[in-house]
């Protein structure tokens, strides 16, 4: 991102475009095979919550779903992460 703050991404289109420019396909979703991991719409790993397994699985899952929902919502997707 050049000479612009991330706080300037006020529209879903701008936010989604910044992620697309970095190679991420939206919407994000939980990885069904790896607790804590998040995938893009192409099935590519994006990030992992609780990489050191310090949290209970249910807490790590809830955390990743909250982050997924926030990112997807900011990008204009209104569905909840499954």
Residues 63-73 have pLDDT tens digits of 999 999 999 99
Q: pTM of the full predicted structure?
A: 0.84
Cα→Cα distances 75→4, 16, 35, 57, 60, Å: 18, 5, 24, 27, 23
Summarised one tens digit per residue, pLDDT across range 20-40 is 999 999 999 999 999 899 999
The pLDDT assigned to 10 comes to 75
């Amino acid at each position: 991102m050049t000479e612009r703050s991330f706080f300037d991404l006020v529209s879903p289109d701008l936010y989604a475009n910044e992620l697309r420019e970095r190679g991420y396909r939206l919407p994000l979703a939980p990885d069904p095979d790896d607790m804590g991991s998040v995938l893009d719409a192409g099935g590519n790993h994006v990030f992992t919550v609780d990489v050191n397994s310090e949290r209970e699985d249910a807490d790590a899952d809830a955390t990743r779903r909250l982050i997924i929902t926030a990112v997807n919502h900011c990008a204009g997707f209104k569905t909840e992460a499954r």
